[in-house]
Structure 1
């Protein structure tokens, strides 16, 4: 019986592995079915929400005729009226399926919104409007649609559109899920020494094998998500696999859906390896399951509670743990550092550093003293 068989024997009795696999499959089934069955007019819904937000801001201003001389003295009001008119035009183009005019209006609206943020007093109303990153993503998306003459998907009735929604959730949940699985890798090794010590394998090789095994299981869970989405393709249209997805790389641009999915898959794999190595280092330093879990989740939650501070601490992996937000450029609201490639470099750096620490830990043979 090889070491992988022992790991499988140990893991199949571990409830958390089964829970993760079931949770991943259920998330994929529920989210995909909900998105496809709703068949929502997403563009019309988003436009209606944006129009209501602008009207809410305009209600705080005194109504002025834009042709009157006084209107020039209030550029905020003028800009908001322009936004309201453009959103009304977008709604009309959606109702009559006038896609060329809809695309041109969307590009013009993103420019007007960008100008709004540079006006004095705009900071009092920016919470009502899309974030700068969302506005830039929208501009990049519609510019690409217009340039390549790509048909718009106005409804969430394809596998491609449902997977974009699904992976937005998975990007948030992936690191917490991997942390729950990997959080006791070294502690578990100590608990099962009676099984593992009989193998002619050094501790270093056993830990590397365990990292490979755990990463493989996490990829299995990810593969199950893909299989669920493919299963829905029997009854629902797949959609355009080259449909543009707006992202921030070194600048705001678009990627074909299949390329976007490939980057996310590689990033999820890297996060799985990072989570394994982080767990071993924390287990060694803290020698406690709950403290290791606390520090791992603390690192993950840092950008949520202290976004400005975590963005400035760009050398820490905190802002690199959610690939979807990184690809959306959300961190740029607080810092000019970072993009998807930068996040990969940071994670690789910490993985190498953790490997050095683990090697040093084994070399000085402190593990035996902890038994």
Structure 2
């Protein structure tokens, strides 16, 4: 109850809450101005890539069995991709388009198995992209939904907006929100100081209040932004597939399921950042240190990766960037196939427990230090 009153009196938290609410409708104004590439344009680009492969394919490779096999596989791909362009231009034959796409992916994987002989490296489609498209086409075929719905709609916008707000931007937001999680009470003496509350009870109550503040304002922001997007462009289709990396492969899930996955990740990251704020407040007793050191901790593994230092011990810190965890980009970047959504959630929970353990140790150290000083 008293913690709630402290939060109500904290103008900084109200200002931060307002920022979240305004972010989503304002971001839609930017998002609605974008001009996403159509599926037909994408397929025309793929057809152009295949044409470039033909033009650059070495003649001497065709004299070998493997090179000739690769050339034949590319020829079949060219025919199928051009048929896909035709189906899209006619606006019909969705099933034929999907069947052609699935066959193209099979052929591309066969070419990968043959070592992409004779194909310039910059024209090779990465295996990850092939698996992504295959998962997407399989989901669309199974659920009988349109190949490409309108992109400037609420369902697509919410995914893009949440992914934009994720990672370092959201982490900094929570660090700023929790920068005075202990210090505010020390600087503004309240009736809470006179209550014989245990340290654990006090910090957990503070965490709960700040957590609810962040999540409630985030949900309000999503609701306001989503309704504004729906009013301007329509609700869209919340059953449309979004790709995620799971168990070493790519899996298509519905837009609604993706949003729920994202919100769970946000909740866990919020708790971790708030407990980290408690710890940094205890050690440094400074709001600015909370943000700067917290940000530094997040950046450590990225810096180590860039200088090519083996940093697997610090990998869990990168899971804060959960949009890249879901897409599988982080798994590729860190060359660790185990990094998927539930792997990241597990290690983020472990980090929370580790921070709690350190908080307990630091609190005991402070207690005994004060006890010795009083004696």
TM-score by shorter chain over 0.5: yes
Work out whether residues 35 and 156 of structure 1, in 8 Å CA contact, stay in contact via their aligned partners in 2.
no
2:215 is the counterpart of 1:219: yes
Work out whether residues 302 and 318 of structure 2, in 8 Å CA contact, stay in contact via their aligned partners in 1.
no
Work out whether residues 64 and 71 of structure 1, in 8 Å CA contact, stay in contact via their aligned partners in 2.
no
Partner of 1:336: 337
Work out whether residues 141 and 246 of structure 1, in 8 Å CA contact, stay in contact via their aligned partners in 2.
yes
Q: Give RMSD over aligned pairs.
A: 3.8
Work out whether residues 53 and 128 of structure 1, in 8 Å CA contact, stay in contact via their aligned partners in 2.
yes
Work out whether residues 4 and 209 of structure 1, in 8 Å CA contact, stay in contact via their aligned partners in 2.
no
Work out whether residues 277 and 290 of structure 2, in 8 Å CA contact, stay in contact via their aligned partners in 1.
yes
Secondary structure of 1:246's match? strand
2:25 is the counterpart of 1:29: yes
Work out whether residues 211 and 270 of structure 2, in 8 Å CA contact, stay in contact via their aligned partners in 1.
yes
- Shift, 1:307, TM fit: 4.6
Partner of 2:83: 89
Partner of 2:8: 8
Looking at structure 2, the residues matched to 305 and 50 of structure 1 have their Cα atoms a distance apart, in angstroms, of 35
Q: Structure 1 residue aligned with 2:95, among 78, 92, 100?
A: 100
Looking at structure 1, the residues matched to 26 and 181 of structure 2 have their Cα atoms a distance apart, in angstroms, of 31
- Shift, 1:259, TM fit: 1.6
Work out whether residues 103 and 146 of structure 1, in 8 Å CA contact, stay in contact via their aligned partners in 2.
yes
2:225 is the counterpart of 1:254: no
Q: Structure 2 residue aligned with 1:158, among 148, 153, 158?
A: 153
2:191 is the counterpart of 1:192: no
Partner of 2:351: 350
Q: Per the alignment, do residues 83 and 350 of structure 1 end up closer, same or farther by CA in structure 2, a change over 3 Å counting? A: same
- Shift, 1:269, TM fit: 0.8
Looking at structure 2, the residues matched to 369 and 50 of structure 1 have their Cα atoms a distance apart, in angstroms, of 69
Work out whether residues 140 and 246 of structure 1, in 8 Å CA contact, stay in contact via their aligned partners in 2.
yes
2:318 is the counterpart of 1:319: yes
Question: Any gaps of 5 or more consecutive residues in structure 2?
Answer: none
- Shift, 1:107, TM fit: 2.3
- Shift, 1:199, TM fit: 4.3
TM-score, normalized by length of structure 2?
Answer: 0.80
Work out whether residues 24 and 222 of structure 1, in 8 Å CA contact, stay in contact via their aligned partners in 2.
yes
Looking at structure 2, the residues matched to 364 and 249 of structure 1 have their Cα atoms a distance apart, in angstroms, of 42
- Shift, 1:358, TM fit: 2.0
Work out whether residues 242 and 254 of structure 2, in 8 Å CA contact, stay in contact via their aligned partners in 1.
yes
Which segment drifts farther, 229-238 or 122-131?
122-131
Looking at structure 2, the residues matched to 135 and 161 of structure 1 have their Cα atoms a distance apart, in angstroms, of 22
Looking at structure 2, the residues matched to 196 and 124 of structure 1 have their Cα atoms a distance apart, in angstroms, of 70
Question: Any gaps of 5 or more consecutive residues in structure 1?
Answer: none
Q: Per the alignment, do residues 301 and 94 of structure 1 end up closer, same or farther by CA in structure 2, a change over 3 Å counting? A: farther
Work out whether residues 158 and 222 of structure 2, in 8 Å CA contact, stay in contact via their aligned partners in 1.
no
Work out whether residues 24 and 225 of structure 1, in 8 Å CA contact, stay in contact via their aligned partners in 2.
yes
- Shift, 1:318, TM fit: 1.8
Looking at structure 2, the residues matched to 130 and 299 of structure 1 have their Cα atoms a distance apart, in angstroms, of 35
- Shift, 1:325, TM fit: 1.5
Which segment drifts farther, 50-59 or 244-253?
50-59
Work out whether residues 311 and 337 of structure 1, in 8 Å CA contact, stay in contact via their aligned partners in 2.
no
Looking at structure 1, the residues matched to 98 and 131 of structure 2 have their Cα atoms a distance apart, in angstroms, of 14
Partner of 1:241: 238
CA-to-aligned-CA distance 1:199-220 (integer Å, 9 cap, x gap): 4534433322221121112112
